[in-house]
Amino acid sequence: MAPNASSELKIFSLAEVQQHNTPESLWMIINDKVYDLTKFAMEHPGGEEVLFEQGGQDATEPFNDVGHSSDAREMAEEYVIGRIADDERKSAKAAVGDNSKAVPWSEILLSPTWTNFLIPAGISILVYATYRTASKLLTSF
């Protein structure tokens, strides 16, 4: 049930979402949409415990911090059941902090997504440069 226009979605209050924080009924808010992840929890690649920790809350920041793939974001749309009431959107975000702040470049570059690429790439360049230097020295003798 993932209608395209957010105006078509059922509107929930923050209090309603907060009541669904158990393995039997697991809801959370991501980017002002309400998701029912009860059936998905056991399939979650990161483990169900991660979802249970965010149950009944605004999980926008943790969801975005993990760096979910576009496939994961698309798959999440299957679980949308509604959205947070307009007058409560700010309070839902305030529960986990200000999500509008700029992220420093150092944090982006050192995030697991980038470091998983940059560290091996840097090591490869260093090994290649060492090899080229050593081979030039050996051929000059």
Provide the 10 A C-beta neighbour count for residue 62. 16
Q: How far apart are CA 22 and CA 69, in angstroms?
A: 26
Phi and psi at residue 20, to the nearest 5°: -105, 75
Q: Which helix (H) or strand (E) holds 33?
A: strand 33-36
For residues 57 and 38, give the distance between their C-alpha atoms in angstroms, rounded to a whole number: 14
Instruction: Pick the closest to residue 56 from 81, 31, 25, 94 (CA basis).
Output: 25
**pLDDT tens digit sequence for 43-81:** 888 888 889 999 999 998 888 888 888 888 898 899 999
Can you identify the CATH homologous superfamily of domain 6-94?
A: Cytochrome b5-like heme/steroid binding domain (3.10.120.10)
Does the pTM surpass 0.75? The reply is no
Q: What is the distance between the alpha carbons of residues 31 and 6, in angstroms, rounded to a whole number?
A: 11
Q: What is the pLDDT of residues 89-138, one digit of tens each?
A: 764 555 544 445 566 766 666 666 666 777 888 899 999 999 999 988 88
